[in-house]
Every structure is written in structure tokens, then in C-alpha cells.
Chains A and B, each alone.
Chain A
Amino acid sequence: MSDNITITIDGVEIPAKQGQTIMQAADDAGVYIPRLCAYNGLEPHGSCRVCTIKINGRFQAACTQPVAPGAIIENETDEINDIRKSIVEMFFVEGNHFCMFCEKSGNCELQALAYRLKIPAPRYPFLWPDRQVDASHPDVIIDKNRCVLCGRCVRASKDLDGKDVFGFVGRGPDKQLAIDATARLVDTDLDVRDKAIDACPVGSIMKKRVGFAIPIGQRKYDKKPIGSDIEDKNK
């Protein structure tokens, strides 16, 4: 059997290869499926559910769901977009995200998703959790107020850096990013060049003293919305 198959996304047939995930096939075809925990170079995680799609009538995560011949996929529908918006809104209310003075603003995937999904304000009440800032490392700072528990740093540290700097502790609403079973970031072997730092989609793990060096207008999402790099493949 040939590896080359065809799937349908929002009524448009696109080519795919056996073994690909739906997200990979969509990316190759220039179809953007919103995502947060998915990150190039890392194994898919399927935890944030922002990439929720409907395949043959069932909700699945596009980052983990493999393609199948003849699969009928819904991506840009009102129903699915509302689910995605709802998920992104939950990220906003369960942390302390103040875009107005966050140095990641304009380069933040969570903020960019909110703009792309046209979220004016969350539908849920803010939880205002009490979270810590760990500035003990000489070159890196972690602001847990902004962590969305996507796990990209956890996986990047392990799979790309060959370290084990980050992990999670607690369950459910008490789940938190933790650091290598020790108390402070400075006590880990984290290096400012580690890929785990770049993997953070929000302003939680940041290189120190970079701040607002990129002027407004030149930041990643100032000119084009998130996903444009993928969609531009179609042009």
C-alpha cells in the first residue's frame, strides 16, 4: 500500500503520508491548526487541547492523532473555534497574565492565539493564583504567574538539552511547574543557551536583561497573526 494518502480538511482534499499526524499533514499543506503545547522538534504531547479538531465526527487532538485514508476533518468551524477559545480563555484566567507589561508581549503565543481567535475577554472568572518568581539564576528568570503548563520546557530540557531541569508537581488545579526537585533555578544545571528556554511559548521562562529590546512593530506577531508562516506556504 502506498504511503501517500488523501485526507479532507474543511472540505478541501490535501495529501498526507501514512505515519504523519493530522497537524503535520496540515502544516505541510499550508493549513494552520492552532496549537500551544506542540513544538517543532519535540514529540507531540496532546495536553493543551488547543489543536482540537473533529475527525469523522469525533473530537481529537490534531498533534497526536495519526492521519487515516479518507479522514474527514473539521478545523475552522464555529463549534471548534469556540472550544479553542474556551481553552485559551482558561489559560488566561488560571494564571496571572498581564500583557501590558510583559516583555513577551508581541512574541507570546498565548497572546497571539487570543488575537487570532478574537478573544476580547475571558468568559470565566479570574482565579488570581499566588505564584512565585524565581530569579535566582544569573541569566534566566522564571515567572510562574505566566506558566500555562504546556510542558514544552520539560520535554525540551529532557529531549533536546539532555538535562532534566523542569518537571511538574501536584495534580489538577494544584499542578505546578517544578525545578529538578531542588528549590531554586540556580541550583540546577540550566544554561542560558538551553533550548528549554526558547521553548517557552509565554513570558514564563525568560533570558534575563533582554526585556523590551525589540521595539513595538518589529515583534514576531506585530505584523502577521500566529499561523501565518504555515498558511503562507499555500500562497
Chain B
Amino acid sequence: MSEKLRRVIIEPVTRVEGHGKVSILLDKENKVKQARLHIVEFRGFERFIKGRPFWEVPVLVQRLCGICPVSHHLAAAKAMDRIVGGEKLTPTAEKMRRLMHYGQFFQSHSLHFFHLVSPDLLFGFDADPAIRNVIGVAKKFPDLAVQGVMMRKFGQEVIKATAGKKIHGTGAIPGGVNKNLSIEERDFLLKDIDQMVVWARSALKIAKDYTVEHLEKLAPFGSFESNHMSIIRKDGAMDLYDGGLRAIDEDGNKIFDHVDNQLYTDYLIEEVRNWSYMKFPFIRSIGPENGWYRVGPLARINCCDFIDTPEAEAARKEFMAVTNNKPNNISMAYHWSRMIETLHSIEKIKQLLNDKDLQGNDLVVKGQRREHAVGIIEAPRGTLIHQYEVDENDQVVMANLIVSTTHNNEPMNRAVQKVANDHLSGVEITEGLLNHVEVAIRAYDPCLSCATHAMGKMPLTVELFDNEGNLLDRKSK
């Protein structure tokens, strides 16, 4: 066995939500032969939801995640709306849920940008890991760190006001919500709203300036052409809460559009591979080879025709101009697009807080009972699909969840492969170079816990194997 044949393992991947590892297989010339992101968690929520009463599911299933529980809460609630025939919500109920959802976007995107990603952007991908972390940011850029914390806190306060708790609340119930927004709650949030808008603008500027300034380096970094998918409003506007499915190819041609959520299985299918607990979804009509797609902020900006809030729409136009209004396929552009959504979310929150419908008392509707339902929502990390069957005794008999990170499984693997090929091939592998792999993964803001519906500890590892599969080197964080 030659000493130069090896497999590198990054385990755990750090500054992502959940536990994953990367394995990179190098050939005799130290060239990257294969690079994979393995998801090593397993949870089994789809199984233990079975038998539970359907009204319990929106509260139960959000325990999948501590970062984006609201997304699971609302996706499940949307499905259960259909189970009770209450999918046409009252204005108060829909606006309360939307407020909760935008609060979730605001806090989740802020957490990701400031706590998980900013160390890479502010200090460099291969900076000393001792300072390339959130504590390093807090020391060198204290104002920015505080801003990140306060933005996240504000989003959490919005969630508390709508769901009863900052994490794992109970606001959405089948057919509606269990509370409106009191005047006190509204005024409490309104007092900080303008500051939040200012900070969201400044975070967007940081992301935009960084991307534009480093475009030459970032454009090829972990990048590749791909399809994109999101839900979309009837008029083509970005809608994070509700809409039909739209998928476009790398040039912006529509693959499908305004697909009824209930029929998603006619358009999407999942494939299992034996080296990861995370499935690989793809577009049926194209097949597994080329039918994979990206979801999340980048895909949403690419898919939508416009954004219905003025500042975010202006930012979207600037963003799209970089690629001449064609879909942006740059992985690192996720950060910029994520901050456009952060600004959009706070604009929406401001609109909603001034909407008197939120003080309404008509909270729940019910109609014709159904046994099968799908709920689809855009979670911060991308399209989230919940599908359930409920029997005549009100018990769940089938659950299928396709979470945002699962859609991005193939893209993240492509990004890892690309970065490994471009940066790790034929050179001595250092911690800084390994972090390049993680930087590419972080662009997608994966939530590996959600994606495997999982149990276990958090982190990412890189292992180096020879071409016969023998472990030669291993670096963990």
C-alpha cells in the first residue's frame, strides 16, 4: 500500500445544525477520487408518530428540531387543517401563523449568519480556528455579535407572542390558531421593529458586499449548475408560508409550476443510498441522475418572479443582476440571498404588526373531514413537506416528512466534491483546507437533525482513506 493513498474524514462537521461527517477518498496521486457528506444520525419520527392522535402532531413533530421547530409545527398544522377540512383559515389565523413564521425566519437566518457563518467571512476560511468562531467574532466585532444576538432574540419574541413559547410552542392547531395577538404583545414588538429593520439592512449589506467583493473567488467555490425548487404564490411572488410548487432548471426554464401540494408525489420521489441516513429526492420526470435540485434562500430567489416587500424586492433585483437575471448557481450566494429573506421577513413582520386582523377573535374553522393530507411550507432551509394519513379513529397511520436539508442532499454532496477537487487535490491537507469543505456545507445551512428526523450528538469529521478503503488519517473538530 502506498503511503499517499488515503481517505480524509471530517467528523464532526462544525457550525451546522446536527451531526454529519465528510469522507474524501484520494488516489495514488493524492487526487480526490470521491467526496461525500454522510449523515450519521437516525431518529425515526415518521415511525413513532404512528398511532398518535392527529391534533397532537403539530406539537409533537416540531421536536425534530430546536432551531426551526416553527416550520415543522406549521407544516404539520397545514396538513392537519386539511384533515379537519379547515384549510381556508380565517384572516386572523393565517396572519398569526405568518407572523410566527416570519419571526422564525428572522431568528433562524440571523443565527446562521452571525453565529455560524460570520467567522468564515470575517476572518477567512483558513484563519486560525482558535479565533474563527463566534467568540472570536464577539471579541473583534462586538457590535456585530450583539446585533446578531438581538436579532435572534427579537425573532424568538415574535414566536413567543404567537406560539406561547420561544421554542416548541402550541400556537397552530388544526383549522387555525389558539390565540390572537394582544395589544400589549403587539406594542412590545413594535417598540423594537425599526431597529430590527436597520440591522437587517446592515446584515444584508455585509453579505452583499462580501459576495460582490470576493465574487471571483466565490463564484466557482463549491458551485455547479442545478435545478431549483420552492413554493410560489399564484402571482409568482415569493411566499414563504403557502403556494404551489415551482421547479426551474439552471437556465430558469420551468420544469413544473404551481403544482398542487397534495399531488407532490406525482412530481417528486426519494431515493435511498446505503452510505447515508438521509434520502436523495429528485424530480420524477427527469430521473435521479439529473433530477436533483436545490432548495432554500438561493432557490427561492431564483424561483420567484418578485418579492412583495419593497426593500427586499430592490435587493432581489440587485442580486439577480449579478447573473443577468438568470438563476444564480453560486453556492456561496446563499448567504446574500438568506439576508435578502431576513430583510423581507422583518418587512413582513412590520406590516403584520400594524394589521388589526391580528386582534380578531375568529380563530378556527372546520369542514369536511379527510383522511389524507399534505402540508408544504418554506422553512428557513428550504421546502418542507409533511404528509399524513389519519384513520377514522383520528390516529395517524402514515407519516412522510421530506425536510429542506434532504432536498439539498445531492447539492451539498456536489459542493463537497467540488471543493475537495478544487482545493484538496494533490496538496497536503491542512485544517484550513478542510474548513473549506465545511464552508461549502455551511452555505446550505443544513439541519442534519431534521434531515434524518435523528438522535445523537452534534458535530463534523473528515477521514482520509486509501483507494483500498484503509483509514489513513482522521481530523475531527
Docked pose: A215 CA to B56 CA in angstroms: 14
Q: Which of A66-74, A107-115, A173-181, A206-214 is the contact stretch?
A: A206-214
Q: How far is the CB of B248 from chain A (nearest CB, A)?
A: 38
Q: Which of A209, A210, A216 contacts B164 (CB 8 A)?
A: A216
A214/B178 contact (C-beta < 8 A), A100-B63, A208-B394 known: yes
Is the interface on chain A under 10, 10 to 19, 20 to 34, or 35 or more residues? 10 to 19
Q: Which of B137-145, B168-176, B319-327 is the contact stretch?
A: B168-176
Complex contacts, B444 vs chain A, CB 8 Å: none
Docked pose: A181 CA to B84 CA in angstroms: 33
B307 adjacent to chain A (CB < 8 Å): no
B60 adjacent to chain A (CB < 8 Å): yes
A215/B63 contact (C-beta < 8 A), A135-B53, A208-B53 known: no
Q: Is the CB of A101 within 8 A of B165?
A: no
Q: Which of A133, A209, A215, A217 contacts B55 (CB 8 A)?
A: A209
Could you tell me which residues of chain A, from 177 to 218, have a CB within 8 Å of some CB in chain B?
208-218
Q: How far is the CB of A212 from chain B (nearest CB, A)?
A: 4
Complex contacts, B178 vs chain A, CB 8 Å: 212-215
B279 adjacent to chain A (CB < 8 Å): no
A77 adjacent to chain B (CB < 8 Å): no
B124 adjacent to chain A (CB < 8 Å): no
Complex contacts, A218 vs chain B, CB 8 Å: 179
Docked pose: A215 CA to B163 CA in angstroms: 8
One digit per residue, 1 when the CB lies within 8 angstroms of any chain B CB and 0 when it does not, for chain A 114-146 equals 000000000000000000010110000100000
Complex contacts, B55 vs chain A, CB 8 Å: 103, 209-212
Q: Is the CB of B59 within 8 A of A101?
A: yes
Q: Which residue of A lies closest to B59 (CB)?
A: A101
Q: How far is the CB of A100 from chain B (nearest CB, A)?
A: 6
Q: Is the CB of B394 within 8 A of A135?
A: yes
Docked pose: A203 CA to B179 CA in angstroms: 22
20 inter-chain pairs at a CB distance below 8 angstroms, sorted by A residue, are: A100-B59, A100-B63, A101-B60, A133-B51, A133-B52, A133-B53, A135-B395, A141-B53, A141-B394, A208-B394, A209-B55, A211-B53, A211-B173, A212-B58, A212-B173, A213-B173, A213-B178, A213-B364, A214-B178, A215-B164
Listed in ascending order, the chain B residues whose CB lies under 8 Å from chain A are 51-53, 55-56, 58-60, 63, 84, 163-165, 168-171, 173-174, 178-179, 364, 393-395
